[in-house]
Amino acid sequence: MNKYLAIFGKPRYLGIFAYNPEEQIAKGTTVVVESHRGEETAVVAGILTPEQEAEYRLLRNAAEHGDSSSKTTEPLVTDLTFISFATDEDMQMAEEYREEERKILKSAIELLKPHELDMKLIDVEFLRHRRKLFFYFSSEQRVDFRAYVRDLAREFKTRIELRQIGVRDEAKIIRGLGPCGQPCCCSYWLNQFAPICIKMVKEQNLALNPAKISGICGRLMCCMCYEHNVYRELWEKLPNPGTKIKTPNGNVVVSGVEIHTNNVRCYIPSRGEIKVPIDRFNEFKETVMAGKDWVVEEDKDDMPPLCLHSGLHDIFGSTGLIAHKEREGADDKKERRSEKQDGADGREKVNRSNKKRKRPRKLPVAQKEQHAEGDRKEHGKKLPHAVPAKEKEAEKQVPAREKPRRPRRRRSGAKKTERTVPEE
């Protein structure tokens, strides 16, 4: 008998069932099976080898590694009994159940308000032929919902069962998009929730920002453990991130590692951050602790010098090469001339912009009146001969030098005293 893996229920439970080896079931086929909950439809995920079956049997659920608030959850992988293939009627009934479940969830939330229970209803699920109605809820503590279950049974006229799940299972049922823009891993391919700690985030040189390292469930993202094994192998030969190495010139801090270059980043107070190969880290540590400077060997460019292609001589001949060089020389001269012209134009613009514009000098009111009277007199008199330009400039400059005496300002608040003239 061939063994097949199937997915059933809204929380995406896993089950294994056996089927006739003569016929093979295609991936994605909907079948009717019987589980520990009753008869329900399931989707075939594929055929299993004995080694794969043994690995799936070893999977742990969320309650076993302490990531779920409920201690009575079903095992992650259960045994199923194959009944038949799903017909068109079964598929149509399943669609009707999904539409009805949305209405039931709204009415169940309204029934919950008078009870004032500290619980959050997440989703509702019907079994085949409406034999049982499951309510999935989340809560931080245990809830006494016996009175609420009686109200639900009275309202919907069927068997009621409430299941408490964790926040990760809530994201698994509701589904959504993660910070990467892709659907959440737990909603379509992830079968087991692995325990994730903040140490994994530190070892991968990630920013300790809750908004960037948390998923829609509020916990650390499941993808934090995908590459953790690679980083762990690198950190086995190194001290923990953030470790300080005491030296005579100050403390050297180990800031992180780079997988693609196989280097470790260290911060030196006098030089800043440098990269040290992981194989030479012990040598670097001894050198720095002795008070010596670590010399970074820069990779020299081993690029060969540029030269003309060997095929050019065959194509153009010797005369063609000479003409080609002459053209290149003429083009270089034109480029230099254009650069010089652009540089000269730019300097002229800078000099013009740097020159300060002189503001016209503001004259006092009394001096303006003197200028106006002088202009009127000059216009009134008709001179017989033209006055030289130098004399005119001298006449204009004379009144500018003689500055009239400004009246003294009175202090604020001081009153002008009237002097009394004595009578004779």
Name the maximum alpha-carbon separation found in the chain: 150
Separation between Cα atoms, residue 29 and residue 43, nearest integer Å = 6
Tens of pLDDT, residue by residue, the chain (424 residues): 889 899 998 888 889 988 887 788 888 899 999 988 888 899 998 888 888 888 888 876 544 444 544 444 556 788 899 998 989 998 889 899 999 999 999 999 999 999 888 889 999 998 888 889 999 998 888 888 889 999 999 998 889 999 888 888 888 888 888 888 888 888 888 878 888 888 888 888 788 888 888 888 888 998 888 888 888 887 777 777 788 888 888 888 888 888 778 888 888 888 888 888 888 888 888 888 888 888 765 544 444 444 444 444 444 444 454 555 566 666 666 667 766 666 656 555 545 554 545 555 555 555 555 656 665 555 554 444 444 454 545 555 544 455 566 666 666 655 554 454 454 4
Is residue 111 within 8 Å of 139, Cβ to Cβ? no
pTM: 0.57
Distance of CA 299 to the CA centre of its chain: 33
| Cα–Cα distance, 109 to 76 (Å, whole number) | 29
CB-side neighbour CA atoms (13 Å) of 17: 25
- What amino acid occupies position 338? S
Residue-wise DSSP of 167-182: HHHHHHHH--B-TTSS
Residues 193, 186: Cα–Cα separation, whole Å = 8
Question: For residues 375 and 399, is the Cβ–Cβ distance under 8 A?
Answer: no
Q: Answer yes or no: are the C-beta atoms of 143 and 169 closer than 8 Å.
A: no
CA-nearest of 258, 290, 292 to 277 is 258
